[in-house]
Structure 1
């Protein structure tokens, strides 16, 4: 199946479904503008004015394979993604939003964007995801220095610590106020200098497809945090959001509304 996705786009689309004003900065091919995917974004109100459009390459595409244990391997066509490196960060567009999420993508562009977002005093979150191997220790440290929240699964956080040669506290000393580690069905762990270690149980649902679960989690977490929720409440809401996404194949085929996600959260964490 050919399904809509992309880490940054997933966050933007799910955030919009939850009722947030969202925008997308991403590199796409010129064929994307007239695509159904772009039209779906516009219907949801996702701001796409800052898209980087390549005239020479097609939109980046991931080929994802998942086994019966929900283990995944991806092959990636970078395509228009090469446009990121030399593109300018749209500072004026960033000023229109409360938060900036740095998803998988070009390390150099993510670094530049993090600097601009921090200068504009926006909440900055970062999820290197499967692109972690593209970051040199130096570049990774530069990006982390400008973020408020560092996301990663338990494998990724461990690799980041090894790359930086630090423990969790040392990692937070490099910049992030919050390190959030997702552990699949085991839930998530939040590390914060102010609140210490917070463990949050995950909402279990039979997983048809885990693709996009992490992106939906980040969208849910940030959406609550910027409106004043505690770290624990934001994580519980994020778990609820992602529990919907895994119920169907595809990243954007079962995106919950705010009420749907909130009600499931309340029912589970009684």
Structure 2
């Protein structure tokens, strides 16, 4: 498939490659040569403001031709029962290239923003949260819509069969509440709980360390059982090496552990 644009930018190449990999069984080749595009014998996407007859046209917004990062004027609308933005025209009602680039690169997180209590981008600032699609794979739905629109113009176009793989990942800050932390840390914490009058927490700590109660963070047998039942291969991430050693030690089967 050949995609024509008057201006070829790294952003356009990136998102064209992404859509090609996710949707099509053939790569999208990007060109700024109008004559080669017009004479091309095959599926063509006209990503320009110029109307070229006999092609699939998506009218672009400026985002992919820009080189800076600046706030975007975004107004959402409904498309097939789901949110979309960067409305333009042509054979597709919005600039799916620019809209997909905006979401998959987390463009808005590069702009000045309010951070959460952990110093991260607060999800409540995001367009997805404000427009109610935070838990929806919106770009994937857009690609399905694009597939149908392309099929209407190019019925013989071959599309990639979606291959889904679920890989559970866990980012472990603290693998245990009391165990595997050494006697110095536990003694200091216990004295602090004693002085501050946190009797229930002190009793819980002592019960866990004496083996009379399970550590409140110990969900590992349940996780192992779940992974075995669902035939899943989990990945665990931790920046604390004792956590990594202890985790692999209690697991009942080989578990790939990545230390970030």
TM-score (norm 1): 0.26
More strand by share: 1
**Larger CA Rg, structure 1 vs 2:** 2
Pick 1 or 2: higher relative contact order, CA cutoff 8 A, min separation 6. 1
TM-score (norm 2): 0.27
